[in-house]
Amino acid sequence: MKKGLLSILLISILLLSLCGCADSSFDTEPITTTEETTTTEITEPEDDEIFPTESTEVTKPVTPVKENFMAGSLIFSGAEVCYSYVAPINGVYRFDFDINSIENNYKFILSNEKDEVLIETQYNYCNDGGVSCSLSENETYYINIIQLEGEPEYSVKIGVPEKTKQISGDTFSGKLSYIDKCDSFTFKPQLDGIYRFDFDTTNVNYNYRFEMYTPKQESVCDVNYNCNNNGVSAYLYSEIEYTIYVSQKEGLPEYEISIGIPKEKTAVKNGIFSGKINYIDQRDLYSYKLSKGEYQVQFKNINSNSEVKIRVLSAKQENIFERSSTTDIVSFNVETGGVYEIQVEQRYGYTDYDIVFTKV
């Protein structure tokens, strides 16, 4: 009996313990954890939106050339200066170099606005101290001078061509003041005939070139001045304007060129042809009416160290008589009467002359 009561008591105590635990669990509130999530929105740039970028290109300062002269110092390795130059006229320009010491050196580069290199050279490589180049009027050119050896102090002088001049009168002159300089002139003859261009210079050791062209660039003459060739003759036409070029060859000469100009044809009635030979290849023209028959010719007042030639031409330019001056009396026959052209031509020397025709 006691054992039965003890068992009931133990069961009761166990049930009470279980109930207490259950109540305790129901009295406790659950813990809720909330996790926050942060979202970053990325905006894509539109197609036409431009973002500025930092440029790595370095712009070099450009100095305009003043009074056709440049000078400065290149005091560190690779030093470079840049100049701009606007050509005032078409023609051949000269860039003459100088330096403080031949142990130094610099590079010279000439380019156009299209960045095309026209000249690239070094000071030490220029045996004549510079370079020449044809430039166009009102075009801008760029000159870069770059250090190569040492610390050069440089100077560059620009020789500028002159404008074309119109020849008036019987002389023209000029000065070839830099290497490769070329002076240009225009000449419009007043008459058809043989013209003489006699050259002179301030120094016989200097030399220059003389060229003449038609408007179609056809060469009329091309000769160099020297002590053995001091002029040139050419038959020119009055309806053509010719271009003459005088260009430097040796030294820097001053020059003067004299023009022998033919005279108009003179009509003669008394059979006496009088004149004066002033230049090489001079040819004086006369017209004279001859009748059929024999004529004697006598040369008078001609210097002993000079000689002229006479020529008689028909209306068809047929040569019926030709003779150099002589102390003898000579003769010729005329088959057909009419007006003939009489030419008196210089052979050598300069002289007055009188040539007399006498009908026999």
Structure confidence by residue, pLDDT tens digits, 174-183 = 999 999 999 9
Please name which of 252, 175, 159 lies closest in space to residue 206, comparing C-alpha atoms. 252
Check if the beta carbon of residue 249 is closer than 8 Å to that of residue 183. no
pLDDT of residue 139: 97
Structural domains of the chain, with CATH: 62-159 (2.60.120.380), 165-260 (2.60.120.380), 266-359 (2.60.120.380)
In the predicted structure, residue 223 carries a pLDDT above the cut 70: yes
pLDDT of residue 227: 63
In the predicted structure, residue 23 carries a pLDDT above the cut 50: no
Reported confidence tier of residue 203, pLDDT bands at 50, 70, 90 = confident
pLDDT of residue 271: 96
- Tell me how many helices (H) and strands (E) the chain has: 1, 27
Check if the beta carbon of residue 191 is closer than 8 Å to that of residue 260. no
Question: 32 vs 273, which has greater pLDDT?
Answer: 273
Per residue in 49-108, pLDDT tens? 444 445 445 567 899 999 999 999 999 999 999 999 999 999 999 999 999 988 899 999
Q: Provide, rounded to the nearest whole percent, the portion of the chain with pLDDT above 90.
A: 77
The mean predicted confidence, pLDDT, of the chain is 87
In this predicted structure, which of 27-31, 59-63, 115-119, 265-269 has the lowest mean pLDDT? 27-31
Q: Catalogue the long-range contacts made by 216-225 (C-beta closer than 8 Å, 24 or more residues apart).
A: 221/197, 224/249, 225/199, 225/201, 225/249, 225/255
In the predicted structure, residue 1 carries a pLDDT above the cut 90: no
pLDDT of residue 112: 97
Check if the beta carbon of residue 324 is closer than 8 Å to that of residue 313. no
In the predicted structure, residue 343 carries a pLDDT above the cut 90: yes
Strand-strand pairing, 330-334 and 307-313: unpaired
Sheet containing strand 266-267, edge to edge, reads 266-267, 283-290, 338-348, 307-313, 319-324
Per residue in 129-157, pLDDT tens? 899 999 999 999 999 999 999 999 999 99
Per residue in 151-160, pLDDT tens? 999 999 999 9
In the predicted structure, residue 332 carries a pLDDT above the cut 90: yes
pLDDT of residue 10: 52
In the predicted structure, residue 169 carries a pLDDT above the cut 70: yes
Distance CA 30, CA 196 (A): 130
For residues 209-215, give the mean pLDDT. Answer: 97
pLDDT of residue 24: 42
Tokens of 77: 């390795």
Q: Which residues have C-beta within 8 Å of that of residue 325, sequence separation ≥ 6? A: 299, 302, 307, 308, 309, 310, 347, 353
Check if the beta carbon of residue 61 is closer than 8 Å to that of residue 82. yes
